[in-house]
Structure formats: C-alpha cells, structure tokens
Amino acid sequence: MHVAVLDRERCHPKKCNHECQYYCPPVRSGTPTIEFPDPNSQPVINEPLCIGCGICVHRCPFGAIKIITLPDELNKDLSHQYGLNSFRLYSLPIPLKGKVSAILGQNALGKSTTLKILSGVIVPNFGNYEEKPSRENVVRRFAGSVLGDYFRDLYDGNHVAVLKDQNVDLIPRVTSGTIGEILKRDDPQGKFDEIVSSLGLSESLDKDVSYCSGGELQKLAVGRALMKDGDIYLFDETTSYLDISERLRVARLIQELSASKIVFVVEHDLAIMDWMADNAHIVYGQPGAYGIISEPRTSNKAINSFLEGYLREENVRIRNYAISFQKKSSKRDATGIDLSSWSDLKVNLGNFRLNVSAGSLKNSHVVGVLGRNALGKSTFAKVLAGVIKDYEGILSNPVRISYKPQYISTDYDGTVLSLFHSVLKQDMENAFVRNEIIHPLDIESLYDENVQDLSGGELQRMSICLTLSRDADLYILDEPSAHLDSAYRMLAAKVIKRVMENNKKGALVIDHDVYFIDLISDELMIFTGMQGVEGNTFGPMPMTQGMNTFLKEIEITFRRDALTMRPRINKPNSRLDKEQKESGNYYYAE
C-alpha cells in the first residue's frame, strides 16, 4: 500500500502556488490525489487514489510530502495517528513491573509519543483522528491483556504516572527559582536530602535555573521525577549533558526505582542503556511518517539487532547497513605527522586552573577526549582553536582549524541552504563534501528549513557537517553526539573518521558517549582533577592506556560483546568486574 504523508509544518501552499497539486496525475476517477479544499489551505491527500508515483514529492519545494510503502497488515495494529496524512504509531510496549524497559530507535519515530500515551497525556485514537479519543475505548480495545489492566488502572487513578520530559533546556522558561527551591516545592515524600545527595546536587542548590548548565538542569529534572510518589515512571532521555560518571549515577537510581515500579526509559547512549535496562523495544519505520514498536528483547539482543540493522524475529531490515566495532581498538596505529603540538600549558579562568601536559595531534588520526564535566575539556579546545589566547606555554605548528563549539549558536536568520552557501561557497560543489559529508548526514532534507527552527539533533547534524566541510588541517568537535539519536551518533562517528583518513587530516573530539569515542578514536586524552577547581591532562596516549586511566578513575570496567565487539559495562562486583580490576585491565580483557 502506498501512503502519502504530509508534514503540515513544512507546507506553504501560498508560496509554491499549489505546485504539488498541478503535477499530481489524475488516477482512476480522474481526480488528482492531492486536493485543496480552499485556495489558501494545506493539501489533502486522498490515500486510496495515491499510486506512489512520487511526482508530488519532486515538485514540492519545501520537502513537505513523503511517499512511503506501508504493508497493509500494519493497519490492524495502528495505535495512534495525529491527523490526515500525518504520523502513525503502530503497537505499544508492554509494561513490566520490577524491570527497566527501554525504547530504542531513531528520532521522529514516536518514542516520545509512546511515553506520553503510557503516561496518559495522550489518549490513543487507533487511527480515528476525526473523533475525540475515548479512554473507555482504549480499555475496551486492550481488554484481557496486560495493556488493558495498565490503562484501566491509569485512567481510574489507581496508578499515578510520572513523566520526565526530554527538553530540559526549556526548564528556565516554565519555572523560576533556585534548584533547591524548585526541588522543595516538589517534595511530597520528604526525600529532598536523599535525592540531592544521590544526584550530587549539593553544590548547586543555590543556583538560579536561569544560569544552570545543561547537566544541572538534567539532574534537576530527574530529581523532580524521583521525588514524586508514582507507580509508573517514564524517563525521556536522561543522559544529555551528563558525563559518564553522572550517567551511571542516574542509571543506578532508575534501577533501584524499578524494583517496585513500572519504569520506561528512552535512551540514546547504548552503553548506559545496556547497563541500565532489563529489556528493550526497538522502534523502526520512516522518521516523520510512521513508527513501529517491536516485541521486547533483552537489552543485549535489542542493541545487537539495532546495530546489525536487522530484526530476525520479525524478518525486517531497519537499516541498509550494519554498525561494526573493531576488535583490536587498542592496537590501532598511532604514527603520523604532527599537525599541532604544545608544551606544558597553564590556563587560568577565574577560580579554575587547567594544567595541560605536552602533546601533539597527528594527521589521519582522531584523538578522543574523555573526562568528567568542569575539568577544562572545552577550555583546552578553545585554546587550540584560538578562542582563548591568554595562557602560559607554547602552542607550535599553527595550522588551519575548523572548530565546532559545545553550544551551537542559532543567531543566523535564514535557511540551512543559504547558510551553507555563505559559509562553504564553491566547496558546496565539491564531490567529496557532497557525497561523504552532506549526503550521509542527510543535510539535504534540512535545506529549506530556517536555522532557528531546527531541533537540537538537526542543529547538531548541520554543525558537524559545516565543521567537516571547511578546508582545514585540524578539526575540533566539542560533544558532537549531543542531541543525536543512536543511529546518527554511529553515522557521525563513521563520517568524521572517514574524512580524517581520506584527507590526511587530524581531529580532536570531546564526547561522553563511550560507544562514540570507541568507534572514532585512535588515541585518547584524559582529563582528571577537581571539578570546577582544577583540571589536569594525560596524553594523547594509546587507547588501552587511556581507557584504563579513565575507567579506573570512575571505577567501572568494560568488556566486548562476543557478537558485535561493542563496549559493554560490567555489572559492579561481578566476577569479570573483580577480575579486571585486580589485573588492572579495566578496558577489555583481550
């Protein structure tokens, strides 16, 4: 079955003079598939008449129309549809008490919609979008099943659902006060001291939310959710802005909560999700068009299937390529020509002091940077990029640098395409840029969007693309995985690595996602010290030495999955965890 899907936010009928309608061929009844009820309205797509010719897609200048092929039998499991020719969600995950259930998949496939349905914020309409959805109909539809009992208890008020939203950066817009004041307002159970201690928020209690970092806002959102007395907890992205030690801290709290509650999480950090979740549902489909929720798998099997791009039980390919990890990452060649080198550096920023040990960056190599927040990683990147010029020491071999900062500006008033033309100019026609950077990151689909209207993930992809497309010798990327879903994180790592190897360039990449760093890095720099007071660096050094240094500090060990070779965090005090710590081999027992 061919289905035409309309993105109503992108449709501008007045600007294009209804071109999509004029180029839609009459089918069977002599009536075009695309019609306009009145001259100024958005189009209405007659699905039974649509043959999927794709002409309207090519004629729409705003990318508002998609033609997709959808199996007829999926209509039987349609859970929710937003409107005519709009996004559809198929199936729902199964609630399980005493376990952490994860939802894994790309952005724009309905993960947040699913959590809102499970929390009662959205009542599923089963495709009948023209009538107001009925809670009674939901209970009746799922009668005799786990979901039937779940929704009956939820709608009757016997169970209380607590939803932690993904958009923590919006907190200052909807609430005011200090972190301590906000948490005390949401403390019906008197858990303030316990939650503050567990999340490490003691030093931030007097900080106004208007001046909080992303990590502080994330922990505030998690803390507010944990303080509420609920039976069902739904966490939408808990690791954004947090370093790996803070991610593990939050993951432990969620695991403890699941002992007596129903818990769902949406998570893009696969290492943390694997460590935290007991089982996982994979969501696949066409982003912005439809999403299908698979049957539950153990978290290990779900991640392996996701990386392979193939769901064997459903016999469905969700991606046309597999994501693979190198078995011997510790043996990677660390030779090359120095692009940039430095002596011991000292940087003073107010009450913070950064001490950088001498080192260098080589061509065709990617140096990954790991460390807790507030230890000077971004400060060092700014020194290399020339943003910070006040430091002690010598920075040698000045080279052309392309720099992507941690926080991306959206001041540009115009479309993505016009921004690319103004920044890249003739390089827009470079075949390597088009085929190896712009196309893999799917930037063409954003060309007609205004930069200020982009989502966090879209803005990140655009920024990575612009950084890599510039003609430079050294590329510095600060947290490129932030806001990207799991698939785009792995894809971005592949693109960055390929650009460095093919063009004989060098890169310094700061990130908190260990999967991302493991995929991309030839060497590592490690930052240690006292957060907000003093930072010290080690390296660049070989992968094994760097990972051992970093993992020993945060007291966790890694092993490789036998099937995919991906990193996996050992359970604390497990046999393998104890053996690796005793041997000093925190990074993979080869």
Summarised one tens digit per residue, pLDDT across range 77-120 is: 899 998 887 889 999 999 999 999 999 999 889 999 999 999 99
Task: Indicate whether 307 and 447 sit together in one domain.
Answer: no
Q: Looking at the 3D structure of the chain, how many domains does it have?
A: 3
pLDDT at position 76 over 70: no
β pairing state of 401-404 and 352-356: unpaired
Bridge partners for 355 per DSSP: 346, 536
| CATH value at residue 411 | 3.40.50.300
Q: What is the pLDDT of residue 330?
A: 43
Q: What is the Cα–Cα distance from 80 to 565, expressed in whole angstroms?
A: 37
Q: Which band of pLDDT confidence, cut at 50, 70 and 90, is reported for residue 73?
A: very low
Distance CA 254, CA 272 (A): 12
Q: H or E segment at 255? A: helix 244-257
Residues 125 and 55 in one domain: no
The answer to whether residue 38 sits within a structural domain is yes
Question: What gap in Å lies between CA 361 and CA 368, rounded to an integer?
Answer: 11
Cβ-contact 276, 306 below 8 angstroms = no
pLDDT tier at 500, thresholds 50, 70, 90: very high
Does residue 318 surpass a pLDDT of 50? yes
Region 215-233 average pLDDT: 93
Lowest mean pLDDT among 141-150, 317-326, 455-464, 485-494: 317-326
Residues 234 and 368 grouped into a single domain:
no
Is residue 437 in some structural domain?
A: yes
Taking only the tens place, the pLDDT of each residue in 376-405 is 999 999 999 999 999 999 988 778 999 999
Residues 521, 422: one domain? yes
- Cβ atoms of 207 and 178 closer than 8 Å: yes
CATH number at residue 60: 3.30.70.20
Question: Is 347 in the same domain as 404?
Answer: yes
Residues 372 and 517 in one domain: yes
pLDDT above 90 as % of the chain: 57
Of 265, 275, 274, nearest in space to 240 by CA: 265
Q: Are residues 6 and 133 in the same domain?
A: no
Q: Is the pLDDT of residue 505 over 50?
A: yes
pLDDT band at 327; cut points 50, 70, 90: low
Give the amino acid at 340. Answer: S
- Give the dihedral sign, CA 212/214/215/217: positive
Question: What element of type H or E holds 122?
Answer: none
Residues 128 and 237 in one domain: yes
Q: What is the pLDDT of residue 27?
A: 63
The answer to whether 251 and 179 have CB atoms below 8 angstroms apart is no
Token pair belonging to 520: 């991309």
Lowest mean pLDDT of 71-85, 101-115, 154-168, 451-465, name the range.
71-85
- Mean pLDDT value across the chain: 88
Quote the domain boundaries for residue 300. 75-160+230-317
The better pLDDT of the pair 74, 270 is held by 270
Instruction: From 46, 69, 92, give the residue that closes a domain.
Output: 69
Q: Judge whether 275 lies within some domain.
A: yes
Asked if 285 and 359 sit in the same domain, the reply is: no
Assign 520 to helix, strand or coil. helix
| pLDDT (0 to 100) of residue 370 | 94
- Shared-domain flag, residues 281 and 412: no
- Are 279 and 369 found together in one domain? no
pLDDT for 267 beyond 50: yes
- pLDDT of residue 122 exceeding 60, the answer is yes
Are 377 and 469 contained in the same domain? yes
Residue 41 in domain:
yes
Per-position DSSP letters for 290-321, written without gaps between them: EEEEPPPEEHHHHHHHHHHTEETTTTEES-SS
Predicted local confidence at residue 516, as pLDDT: 92
